């Protein structure tokens, strides 16, 4: 099976409350992490920067690639965004709503994102410890 376009997916933590992540959703859509398709000619990091800005108005001080996660449908390049201060997102572009919430309190996550997060937490002890 051929994979659909690769995606950049970004984890944004809420300042010192590192156990709270930024979740976004389209109108009537499931909650997910910010991110989107990698356009032709873009690197995964460039796509992460662009998607974060388009969807939330945020510009990270730095982005760190945490992992690549392959599903039957696509490849996710998962980044963590670093900010000097607690980020102040705005719902932009196709995003209708956003919230900071603990992983256990994020309602109705896309199943593909649940799988990605399980995989990330299984292989990255630092990230796993930070969401508890």
Domain at 27, CATH number: 3.90.79.10
Angstrom distances, CA of residue 43 to CA of 37, 49, 102: 11, 10, 29
Is there a domain that residue 1 lies in? no
Is there a domain that residue 2 lies in? no
The residue that leads in pLDDT, 17 or 124, is: 17
Is there a domain that residue 50 lies in? yes
49 three-class SS? helix
Structure tokens, 17 = 């409350």
Question: pLDDT per residue over 28-43, tens digit each?
Answer: 888 999 999 999 999 9
Question: pLDDT per residue over 38-83, tens digit each?
Answer: 999 999 999 999 999 999 999 999 999 998 888 888 899 999 999 9
Domain that holds residue 17: 7-129
Q: Is residue 128 pLDDT above 60, yes or no?
A: no
In sign, the C-alpha dihedral spanning 24, 41, 80, 1 is positive
Angstrom distances, CA of residue 57 to CA of 68, 95, 128: 24, 11, 27
């Amino acid at each position: 099976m051929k994979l659909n376009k690769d995606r950049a997916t970004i984890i944004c933590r809420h300042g010192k409350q590192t156990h709270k992540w930024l979740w976004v959703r389209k109108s009537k859509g499931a909650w997910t992490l910010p991110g989107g398709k990698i356009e032709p000619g873009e690197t995964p990091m460039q796509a992460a920067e662009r998607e974060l800005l388009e969807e939330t108005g945020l510009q990270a001080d730095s982005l760190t690639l945490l992992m690549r996660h392959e599903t039957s449908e696509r490849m996710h390049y998962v980044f963590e965004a670093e900010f000097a201060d607690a980020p102040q997102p705005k719902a932009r572009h196709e995003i209708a709503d956003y919230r900071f919430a603990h992983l256990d309190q994020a309602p109705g996550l896309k199943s593909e994102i649940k799988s990605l997060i399980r995989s990330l937490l299984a292989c990255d002890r630092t990230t796993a410890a930070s969401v508890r």
